């Protein structure tokens, strides 16, 4: 397989308007939820990203019919699903494959799924997912039951249960919702995750006739129903994290960008911090205008990541890049993941002055980044390095571009439309590029 890198000739202000695509972390849960339906449906505003292509192939491997009507629209008919098993190599390519546990358990009362993959920033247990299934009567849901990396679940029937999550978990909240939709009786999820994508998956399930109340709050109630009808059209919400990434890219290049097709409320944790630092962040109905008043100073601030409506951990690397170009000492406290600072050495190659102590990064402001060849350690780290490279005068390369392509639709054309000089090049070719 070829390796690709993003080649960026930075130091140019980003100016203009770009549109945000559908939410990766909503659509991955929605695609799994679609496997529960007893009829065809149409899904719109689907982002054209590699994680979606993997999830679509996974659903097709179960027997579901999925037709790409256009690059952002899928026609899905899961009635031809003929197995509750998904253990092939595709499963370990993405984290969201584990949503098929809840969906297939909900559809068949059985699921046999390989443990998931995904970005590697420390442990990524699924004990809360299994706890939810166990409380609903599923067998094989003890961690000790996992056989050679395969989770074999069965429940006959799945029963509604009271599920308390001691840790707020996006994935476990979605998986419990999926399994509960057709379970007998009522399920209550306490200390549920409240991210925008949780609400979107719940709205999608309710569109097919599920009975879910309270999504977006700490407590979600699901009353099981015997049948989930198809024949509806659903549009995925805009991607909160893509939007935040472009807000940072506009800011660090000293640009002036109108970002459209987003939900400003979802951006508030980042918008508030950027205003605190001195950037102008103007909310429209479905847009944000981001720029910096000429002559104003940008000051560092302190950020702690937390479950929504706290500061999103998926904007943590991008925000560290923002702090690098602010005056004074900024602090980033990563409260969600064990080890999500693996990209810092790559930023230090670009001149960043950062000290990491366990879950804290102390960021000393610098005047500018310098161009370098750096490695995308994961999806959001790669996006952060793109932001730094856009700000650095000269040519930078960000290798392992495929990791960025997991979550950013058409990143080259979107950035070029704002005046960036960016291209996707084969990695081997970097070595003989005199600018490398």
- Report the catalytic residues: 119
The three-class DSSP label of residue 414 is helix
For residue 231, what are the CA distances in angstroms to 28, 163, 261, 273, 363? 20, 31, 26, 42, 52
Q: In the sheet where 256-260 sits, what is the strand order?
A: 15-19, 256-260, 287-291, 280-283
DSSP 145: G
Least Å from the CB of residue 400 to ligand EPZ: 15
Contact status, residue 21 vs residue 238, Cβ threshold 8 Å: yes
Q: 10 vs 269, which CB is nearer to ligand EPZ?
A: 269
Handedness of CA 241, 243, 244, 250 (dihedral sign): positive
Q: 271 vs 378, which CB is nearer to ligand EPZ?
A: 378
223 Cβ neighbours under 8 A, 6+ residues apart: 160, 185, 186, 211
Strands in 254-323 per DSSP E: 256-260, 280-283, 287-291, 302-304
Q: 113 vs 326, which CB is nearer to ligand EPZ?
A: 113
Q: 125 vs 149, which CB is nearer to ligand EPZ?
A: 125
Least Å from the CB of residue 382 to ligand EPZ: 10
Q: 170 vs 208, which CB is nearer to ligand EPZ?
A: 170
Structure tokens at 270: 């980042």
- The CA distance from 187 to 98, in Å, is 20
Q: 11 vs 378, which CB is nearer to ligand EPZ?
A: 378
Least Å from the CB of residue 127 to ligand EPZ: 5
Least Å from the CB of residue 377 to ligand EPZ: 12
Q: 112 vs 175, which CB is nearer to ligand EPZ?
A: 175
Q: Which of 152, 37, 49 is nearest to 94 (CA)?
A: 49
Q: 27 vs 258, which CB is nearer to ligand EPZ?
A: 27
Handedness of CA 319, 325, 327, 329 (dihedral sign): positive
Least Å from the CB of residue 298 to ligand EPZ: 26
Strands in 292-413 per DSSP E: 302-304, 329-333, 353-357, 360-364, 373-375, 394-399
Q: 91 vs 326, which CB is nearer to ligand EPZ?
A: 91
16 Cβ neighbours under 8 A, 6+ residues apart: 257, 258, 417, 418, 419
Least Å from the CB of residue 128 to ligand EPZ: 3
Least Å from the CB of residue 170 to ligand EPZ: 4
Residue nearest to ligand EPZ (CB): 171
- The CA distance from 253 to 387, in Å, is 8
Chain-centre distance for alpha carbon 146: 26
Which chain residues interact with ligand EPZ by CB under 6 A?
Answer: 24-25, 28, 95-96, 119, 123-129, 167, 169-172, 193, 313-314, 336-337, 379-380, 407
User: How deeply is 38 buried, as exposed, middle or buried, from its count of CB atoms within 10 A (0-12, 13-18, 19+)?
Assistant: middle
Least Å from the CB of residue 35 to ligand EPZ: 16
Contact status, residue 429 vs residue 4, Cβ threshold 8 Å: no
Contact status, residue 418 vs residue 37, Cβ threshold 8 Å: no
- The CA distance from 184 to 196, in Å, is 27
Least Å from the CB of residue 94 to ligand EPZ: 7
- The CA distance from 220 to 225, in Å, is 16
């Amino acid at each position: 397989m070829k390796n690709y890198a993003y080649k960026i000739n930075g130091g140019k202000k980003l100016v203009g308007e770009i549109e945000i695509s559908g939410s990766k972390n909503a659509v991955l849960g929605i695609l799994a939820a679609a496997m529960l339906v007893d009829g065809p449906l149409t899904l719109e505003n689907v982002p054209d990203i590699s994680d979606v292509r993997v999830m679509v192939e996974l659903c097709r491997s179960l027997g579901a019919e999925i037709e790409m009507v256009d690059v952002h629209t899928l026609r899905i008919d899961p009635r031809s699903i003929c197995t509750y098993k998904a253990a092939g190599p595709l499963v370990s390519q993405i984290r969201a494959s584990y949503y098929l546990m809840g969906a297939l358990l909900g559809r068949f009362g059985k699921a046999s799924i390989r443990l998931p993959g995904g970005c590697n920033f420390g442990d990524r247990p699924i004990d809360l997912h299994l706890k939810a299934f166990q409380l609903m009567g599923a067998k094989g849901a003890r961690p000790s039951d996992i056989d050679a990396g395969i989770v074999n679940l069965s429940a006959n029937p799945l029963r509604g249960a009271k599920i308390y999550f001691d840790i707020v978990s996006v994935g476990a909240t979605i998986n419990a919702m999926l399994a509960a939709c057709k379970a007998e009786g009522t399920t209550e999820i306490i200390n549920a995750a409240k991210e925008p994508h949780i609400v979107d998956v719940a709205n999608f399930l309710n569109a097919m006739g599920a009975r879910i109340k309270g999504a977006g709050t700490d407590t979600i109630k699901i009353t099981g129903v015997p049948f989930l009808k198809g024949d509806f059209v659903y549009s995925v919400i805009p991607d909160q994290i893509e939007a935040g990434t472009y807000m940072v890219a506009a800011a660090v290049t000293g640009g002036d960008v109108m970002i459209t097709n987003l939900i400003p409320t979802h951006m508030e944790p980042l918008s508030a911090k950027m205003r605190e630092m001195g950037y102008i962040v103007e909310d429209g109905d479905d847009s944000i205008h981001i720029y910096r008043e000429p002559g104003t100073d940008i000051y560092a601030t302190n950020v702690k990541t937390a479950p929504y409506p706290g500061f999103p951990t998926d904007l943590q690397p991008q925000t560290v890049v923002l702090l690098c170009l602010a005056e004074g000492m900024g602090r980033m406290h990563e409260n969600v993941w064990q080890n999500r600072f693996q990209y810092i050495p790559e930023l230090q190659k670009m001149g960043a002055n950062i000290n990491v102590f366990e879950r804290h990064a102390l960021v000393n402001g610098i005047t500018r980044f310098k161009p370098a060849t750096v490695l995308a350690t994961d999806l959001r780290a790669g996006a952060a390095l793109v932001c730094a490279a856009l700000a650095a005068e000269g040519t930078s390369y960000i290798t392992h571009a495929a990791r960025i392509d997991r979550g950013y639709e058409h990143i080259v054309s979107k950035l070029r439309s704002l005046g960036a000089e960016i291209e996707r090049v084969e990695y081997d070719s970097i070595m003989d590029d005199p600018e490398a």
